[in-house]
């Protein structure tokens, strides 16, 4: 497990969402390609977890995920992103598949929001420990 001593908040065959309250960090591990209903349910649960526990850091493990369908991307950007960007979250690390072609297809939804860098520090990684180390660094403020 990437995030030791974490609490599992939600688990399905497609995604596992966990958090570590003391470190204010959450984790979503996408286990397989997902359908529209699963995407939306998981995204809502991720947002709820962030809000409920005041999480400032998030690690999104997309190594086993294929790109979301366009309607799911659009739904997330319209309905979820505004509240996500105005909440406690400040840093997001995205674990990408080692296959760079698939990485381009996975392109995290947050990368598509023009204003994201005003509110969040977001960075892509290929190694879980590098992503976690970056998240746990003190800086939580985007640089202008």
Within 8 A by CB and 6+ apart from 144, the residues are: none
C-alpha 55/C-alpha 53 separation (Å) is 5
The helix, strand and coil proportions of the chain, stated in percent and rounded to the nearest 5, come to 40, 20, 40
pTM for the predicted model, two decimal places: 0.83
Q: Residue 24: is its pLDDT beyond 90?
A: yes
pLDDT (average), residues 8-17: 93
Position 105 confidence tier, pLDDT thresholds 50, 70, 90: very low
Strand (E) positions, 55-120? Answer: 57-61, 91-95
Please name which of 6, 114, 141 lies closest in space to residue 61, comparing C-alpha atoms: 6
Q: How far apart are CA 43 and CA 48, in angstroms?
A: 9
For residue 96, report the phi and psi dihedrals to the nearest 5 degrees.
Answer: -100, 155
**pLDDT-based confidence at 61, cuts 50/70/90?**
very high
Q: What is the mean pLDDT of the chain?
A: 82
State what percent of residues in the chain have pLDDT above 90. Answer: 40
Any idea of the CA torsion for 104, 51, 13, 79, to the nearest 10 degrees?
-60
Average pLDDT, integer, range 114-139: 84
The mean pLDDT value for 17-26 works out to: 94
Helices (H) and strands (E) in the chain, counts: 6, 6
């Amino acid at each position: 497990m990437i995030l030791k001593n974490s609490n599992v908040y939600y688990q399905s065959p497609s995604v596992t969402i966990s958090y570590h309250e003391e470190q204010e960090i959450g984790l979503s591990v996408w286990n397989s390609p997902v359908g529209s209903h699963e995407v939306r349910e998981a995204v809502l649960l991720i947002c709820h977890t962030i809000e409920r526990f005041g999480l400032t850091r998030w690690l999104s493990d997309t190594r086993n995920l294929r790109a979301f369908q366009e309607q799911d991307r659009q739904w997330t950007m319209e309905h979820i992103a505004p509240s996500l960007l105005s909440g406690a979250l400040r840093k997001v690390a995205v674990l990408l598949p080692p296959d760079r072609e698939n990485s381009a297809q996975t392109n995290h939804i947050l990368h598509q929001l023009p204003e994201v860098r005003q509110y969040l520090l977001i960075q892509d990684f290929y190694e879980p420990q590098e992503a976690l180390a970056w998240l746990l660094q003190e800086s939580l403020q985007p640089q202008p």
